Every structure is written in C-alpha cells, then in structure tokens.
C-alpha cells in the first residue's frame, strides 16, 4: 500500500505565483497610471490649494464689505475699500498659508468693463488670478459690464444691485 502524500504541487505553486504577479501589475498600474491614485491625489492637492486661496480672498472681501457698512468700524479707511492690496493684507492676516498671494492691479471702470482689483497666486507652479469687482464679486475671468460670467460668487448680502 502506497503512502498518501500531502502538500502542494509544483503546478499549484507556479499558478499561485503567476496570479500574484498579475495582481501586482494591476496594482502598480492603478497607482501610477494617468488616472492612477497618485495622479488624482496630486490633482486634488492642487485643487485644494487653489480653493484655499480663493476662500481667503472671499473672506477678505466679505470683511472689507462688512467694514464698509459698519458705522462703528474704527479701523483704517483703506480697510473699507475693495482694493487689491487690502484684499491681500486681510487674506494674509487671516491665513498664514497665503505667502504666495500678491496684489495685482486696481483697474478703474472702462468702456464695457467694471472696475476691479486683481489678486494673483502661484499654486503648484501655475499662476492663478482672481478678479474682485467693487461690489465684492470674486471672478476667475476679467469682469465684463454687460454679461456676468457663470463662475461668479458674491459674499452673502453684499450685492446691492
């Protein structure tokens, strides 16, 4: 009578190794491909940084508008006017991560264009500019007097039109 052998066969071992190699290849592709997790994480980080800058700008504009309409405000007269330097100053005061934020131009109203102030930041190697109208709308495109871009936002209660 033959003794029954227990254990793993060489064929089963080879099949297991092949399956593990296939799984490793798929996992590496999921991590590093164009739509991979690492690429998406990098894009999300960039979008988060950009949103942080934009949110700080909106908060600074809201503070300026609150100062403008507050009869008890005792600060500087400059803190009541929507100007690029004031926006940058207030944004940096409220968020220490705003070192890359710089004041752009304060453009007066012109033919077909509203008066606006521009604020620029370099986010993950890309330069991004926001335009803020006198009424406090934060835009990502140059303001136009006749058509309002679809990506405009206004701090709550600040649009007097």
Contacts of 92 by beta carbon, 8 Å cutoff, 6+ apart:
98, 99, 101
pLDDT band (50, 70, 90) for residue 14: very high
State the average pLDDT over residues 12-27: 94
Residue 1 has pLDDT above 90, yes or no: no
Task: Name every residue whose Cβ is closer than 8 Å to that of residue 120 and which is 6 or more positions away in sequence.
Answer: 101, 102, 104, 127, 128, 129, 130
Read off the pLDDT of residues 122-138 as tens digits, 9 standing for 90 and up. Answer: 887 888 888 888 888 88
What does the alpha-carbon distance between residue 118 and residue 13 come to, in Å, rounded to a whole number? 65
- pLDDT one-digit tens code per residue, 73-91: 887 777 777 888 888 888 8
Predicted pLDDT of residue 67: 84
CA atoms within 13 A on the CB side of 49: 19
CA angle 37–39–44, rounded 5-degree value: 90
Q: Per-residue confidence at 43, pLDDT binned at 50, 70, 90? A: confident
Contacts of residues 6-15 at CB distance under 8 Å and 24 or more positions apart, as own/partner, are: none
Mean local confidence (pLDDT), 41-62: 88
The pTM assigned to this predicted structure is 0.65
Identify whether the C-beta of residue 63 lies closer than 8 Å to the C-beta of residue 55.
Answer: no
pLDDT at 159 over 90: no
For residue 25, name the pLDDT band (cuts at 50, 70, 90): very high
| Dihedral angle over CA of 74, 79, 80, 84, nearest 10 | 180
């Amino acid at each position: 009578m033959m003794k029954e052998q227990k254990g793993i066969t060489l064929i089963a071992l080879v099949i297991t190794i092949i399956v593990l190699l296939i799984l490793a290849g798929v996992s590496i592709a999921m991590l590093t491909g164009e739509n991979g997790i690492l690429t998406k994480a990098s894009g999300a980080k960039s979008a988060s940084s950009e949103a942080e800058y934009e949110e700080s700008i909106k908060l600074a504009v809201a503070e300026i508008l609150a100062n403008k309409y507050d009869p008890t405000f005792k600060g500087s007269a400059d803190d009541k006017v929507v100007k690029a330097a004031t926006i940058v100053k207030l944004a940096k005061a409220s968020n220490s991560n705003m070192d890359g934020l710089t004041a752009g131009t304060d453009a007066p109203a012109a033919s077909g264009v509203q008066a606006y102030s521009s604020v620029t930041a370099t986010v993950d190697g890309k330069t991004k500019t926001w335009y803020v109208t006198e009424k406090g709308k934060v835009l990502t495109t140059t303001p136009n007097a006749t058509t309002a871009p679809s990506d405009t936002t206004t701090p709550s209660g600040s649009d007097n039109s």
